[in-house]
Amino acid sequence: AKFSFISDFHLTPGSKGVLLNFMDQLSRKATPLTLVIEFINPKYQNWINDYISGKSNISSMPEEIKEDWDADFNPYKLILKNAKEQGIRVLALDTRQPSQRARDKAVAAEMIHDVEKNPNMRYLSFAGDFHFYGQGHIPDLLKEAGYNSQAILLNMPPYHYFRALRQNTNARQHKYY
């Protein structure tokens, strides 16, 4: 799939492990991979690029990155370390818009802009579960723009999973694993 989505139930450390497993599997493919992350604001993209390229280390991470996030940041550091080790490009897209709909529109627009510059890239997006299901969220916005090749993993407790299926007006459009 051109786009893969793994939801992060922010307070559940296990969801980060699922992502790390997918990063490992997807990084073995010949096609380059970009990890799209919700948990860092784009204003820190230069630091991320320097870190991934080896020009800086994790201890040089600006404190504001950790302070911006409401959850324990240590599991997220592990994601960045894993991306660096596997040579995975990282794109920070925490847009801090006033509503979730506005955030989803901004993230989808940035992803579309990036894929136009990098047509051979695959994207693995990791964000809160509510960004990925229901009409008007990131996968639907990408589909409206003509990007149909998608796989979605709703990595959440069963209650939220079945709620997601009910909210999606045409669940057959998406692959739920």
- pLDDT tens profile 37-89: 988 889 899 999 999 999 999 888 888 887 776 667 788 889 999 999 999 99
Q: What is the pLDDT of residues 101-123, one digit of tens each?
A: 898 999 999 999 999 999 999 99
For 105, the 3-state DSSP assignment is helix
- Model-level pTM? 0.82
Q: What is the pLDDT of residues 126-149, one digit of tens each?
A: 887 677 777 788 888 999 999 876
91: Cβ contacts below 8 Å, ≥ 6 apart:
34, 35, 36, 37, 45, 110, 111, 114
